[in-house]
Amino acid sequence: MDEQITHEEAIRRLRTDMKTSSVATPFATALKIAFQSLRIRFWRSIITIAGIFFAIAFLVSVLNSAVVELAVNPDEGSQVSGTGIRFILTLLAAEPRQAWLVTMSLIVCVIGIANAMLMSVTERYKEIGTMKCLGALDIFVIELFLLESGFQGLVGSFTGALIGAALVLVSALVKHGFAVMGILPWSQMVINILLATVIGLLLTLLGASFPAYRASQMPPADAMRTEV
Amino acid sequence: MAGTQENTVRARAVRKRFPMGEGYLEALKGIDLEIKRGEYISIMGPSGSGKTTLFNMIGGLDKPSDGTVYIDEVDIAQLDAYELAWLRCRKIGYIFQTFNLIPVMTALENVTLPMIFAGLSNDEAISKGRGLLDTVGLGERWQHKPTELSGGQQQRVAIARSFANDPSIILADEPTANLDLKTGHDIIELLRKLNKEMGVTIISNTHDPSMLNVSDRIIWIRDGRVDRIEARSDIDINVGTIGGDVLGGVGSADSHGGAAGKHAMDRLTGEATNTGE
């Protein structure tokens, strides 16, 4: 009474069905869920953002202080030159102590992000499992967590870069008077702000990549677990 | 029942071992099962009998260590991750003991999520989702978040969600365990109604005796094996009216149930003391 159709036939039929109907990874839905998750854990997101904020504010203040110094005392500018990435690299090479501090603060920031995201994944075991039961692909889960952390990274780095740059500006005004405004290379300072924002965003995504991958590999059967 | 005799789930000598300490724990010791399209099946058994493991196998959530599980005659062990996601998205609907709605989404968004995964446009998904919420009696509350709904209402949303992509199988994991007796009864009625109207196969893992009353067949699992399979026609149990408690149900099984029904209820009460330990 069984074996009405053979297994090969059944699997062929299933694969034909799959060709006509796919499983989507809806970006807009992922974006919406990611935002809602951040909103519901607002204060914790603020703490994560604060970690990125301070690290990037420090990075920008180091960079732009050097820009101000170079503008005020052009003769001393020896190895440090260029703009953008080149400027950052030559500066860090010329000032190993500063380089060390900046690197440490960025590493701490990445670890903080990884920790926060791991916590977020653990806390949402059931939610992730449920989504997988509903047909979410692994890539959708990864998307979800990268969007969530990417948003935190973007907000934290950009505000951090702006505030860091503003502090440098204030200290330059206090130190050198209002006349310094005329000689500052504004474009270079803006480039530093943007670069630091991008660096912050990339580091956040780096920190979130392992937690996101782990979430995507979660077995859907975990949605059935009643504890946790 | 003509034309509905096709097996939708079939298990052949299914075994499952879990590593434990130095050796292995064998949760399933060779299960053979056939579940026909449109049936309403209850899986019963004491805690630790392996029924959750079996349930996960049938639902394509886990793969057997030995033996084969066929869903619509397809051996699920041969499917890759994408194909399994496809299967879970379109062929199987899941209902959980703890409802498992996505907390940050409204009732309607929860119901439409599987449709979005299936590639429906937003408008189609919304109109279909509203229709499903109407069917489960929550048409007015589509904008509510899960925290703003009672347990019974949340489970209704979960039922609407499980029907999102017109699955052929609904898997319900103790759907009434976290609900009071009356609400649980309403949920069972709803499942039975949907089973009848839509012809969907319902497989439910349960401790709830009122579930037995609507099941076509009851599969008793004990110690990793199928202990026995009872058809509803074999047992005639009455678990009392809505609001009546379980003990009242046992009493009525005693008074006008058949011998098999009494047997079933004895097991149930035995189980209750087992799990109470």
pLDDT-derived band at A227 (thresholds 50, 70, 90) equals low
CB–CB of B25/B17 below 8 Å?
yes
Residue A155 lies in a domain: yes
Residues of chain B with pLDDT under 70: 1-5, 235-277
CB–CB of B186/B159 below 8 Å?
no
ipTM of model over 0.85: no
| DSSP assignment string, B85-146 | HHHHHHTEEEE-TT----TTS-HHHHHHHHHHHTT--HHHHHHHHHHHHHHTT-GGGTT--G
Domains of chain A: total: 1
Residue A175 lies in a domain: yes
Per-residue model confidence (pLDDT) at position A149: 94
Using CB atoms, which residue from A24, A127, A224 is nearest to B119? A24
Tens of pLDDT along B179-195?
888 899 999 999 999 99
Mean pLDDT over each residue of chain A, to the nearest integer: 88
Which residues of chain A have a CB within 8 Å of the CB of B116?
24, 26, 29
One-letter amino acid for residue A36 of the chain: Q
Residue A117 lies in a domain: yes
The pairing of strands B201-205 and B40-44 is parallel
Using CB atoms, which residue from A15, A135, A221 is nearest to B118? A135
The pairing of strands B23-36 and B7-20 is antiparallel
Which residues of chain A have a CB within 8 Å of the CB of B113?
29, 131, 134
- How far apart CA B31 and CA B53 sit, in angstroms, is 11
- Selected for mutation to probe chain A from B55, B94, B112 (highest A CB count within 10 Å) is B94
Residue A174 lies in a domain: yes
User: Which tokens belong to A110?
Assistant: 């990445």
Please indicate if any CB of chain A lies within 8 Å of the CB of B72.
Answer: yes
One-letter amino acid for residue B140 of the chain: E
- How far apart CA B43 and CA A14 sit, in angstroms, is 27
Residue A83 domain boundaries: 27-224
Residue A22 lies in a domain: no
Please indicate if any CB of chain A lies within 8 Å of the CB of B78.
Answer: yes
Residue A131 lies in a domain: yes
Instruction: Say how many C-beta atoms besides its own lie within 10 A of residue A19's C-beta.
Output: 7
Which residues of chain B have a CB within 8 Å of the CB of A30?
none
Residue A80 lies in a domain: yes
Distance from B156 to chain A by nearest Cα, in Å?
16
Quick one: CA torsion of B125, B127, B131, B137, rounded to 10 degrees?
A: 90
Per-residue model confidence (pLDDT) at position B253: 41
CA nearest A11 in B: which residue? Answer: B74
Residue A62 lies in a domain: yes
Per-residue model confidence (pLDDT) at position B259: 47
CA nearest B57 in A: which residue? Answer: A221
Distance from B19 to chain A by nearest Cα, in Å?
16
